[in-house]
Amino acid sequence: MLAPFRLKPWFSPRPWGRRSLEPWYSGAQVGTSEPVGEAWLTGPQSIIETGPLAGQTLAEAASSHAPEVLGTMPAAIAPPPEFPLLVKLLFPADKLSVQVHPDDAHAQAMGQPRGKTECWYVLSAGPGAQIALGFNPALKPEQLSAESVRAAIAAGTLEGLLEWVPVASGDMIFVDAGTVHAIGPGMVLLETQQTCDITFRMYDYGRPRELHVENALRVMKTHTAAGKVAARKLGDSSGRHPFTRLIEQKYFTVDRYDLAPGEQVSVPANNPGCLVALSGAATIAGDSEPAIDALPGHAIVVPVSHRDLTIRADSAASLTHCWAP
């Protein structure tokens, strides 16, 4: 039986990112002075820090220990064996590009295994923080034609076609594949998505990066299911510790556990997923293995060979459980 294991985040420099990721990570952890936009917590190149697989990447572990890590996955997930969720922290200091991701059908038509549906959990947000989520519903159909959107991109007016939504700490945002979207500065987001890195940039504020206008126009949708999602408090009659279901969608579910000092809770582990510590000090243990320290901003992968994991809080602690149905 494969024990739970912690991953070292992989940091992705981006022109819209931050030079300091404090208090999440120290400069020594990040290892670069470039602006960093994303910390990939379950990236295929993330290195395992604990247990017998220490030193391997998550991609290597998912391939060599697929039954223990992934269980029996649907055909849409494999081949090749691949961890189904890419979980990240996003640190925008400037606007991200206006972009769109393909759904499964469009991605597979391009020879890729899957598309990219995602969600954003807002961990912190300053005054005026906002995201763009789809087109303004007041626009007429002719304003949303491929020709009109292409013209707005060329004229630098695409932002004016979008629906800008204010966000605050604790908001959960569902971003359906095909949704034209953008993220503004002044926030930290926990992103959970299908393991896919296909992004079609439509507009990038004059930054010297490649745009993918024709592909974006091909996969964008004028109406999607994207939007804010209301959290639900859950628990069961057997006395299971109450938790908060932040989102439940086709490709992922994200739950939040908030524990008082000394409190202990059992988390089901029969689906591939991970636990991400957001704050406080806690340990996570499987059936009989030594406990692992849950470090804020790090993911602990939950092998499906375990039925339950135990979280014990040494101080007040909050963690999310991100898992694939």
- Residues forming the active site: 201
Alpha-carbon span 135 to 113, nearest angstrom = 28
Which amino acid, residue 35? P
Q: Residue 238: CB partners within 8 Å, gap ≥ 6?
A: none
CA distance 152 to 92: 24
**Residue 207: how many CB atoms within 10 A of its CB?**
13
**Calpha distance 277→257 (Å, rounded):** 10
DSSP 167: -
Nearest Cα to 274, choosing from 74, 70, 10, 79? 70
Q: Measuring CA to CA, which residue among 96, 203, 114, 115 is closest to residue 158?
A: 203
As a whole number of angstroms, the distance between CA 31 and CA 23 comes to: 15
Q: How many CB atoms lie within 10 A of CB 265?
A: 19
Report how far residue 284's alpha carbon sits from residue 274's, in angstroms, rounded to the nearest whole number.
Answer: 11
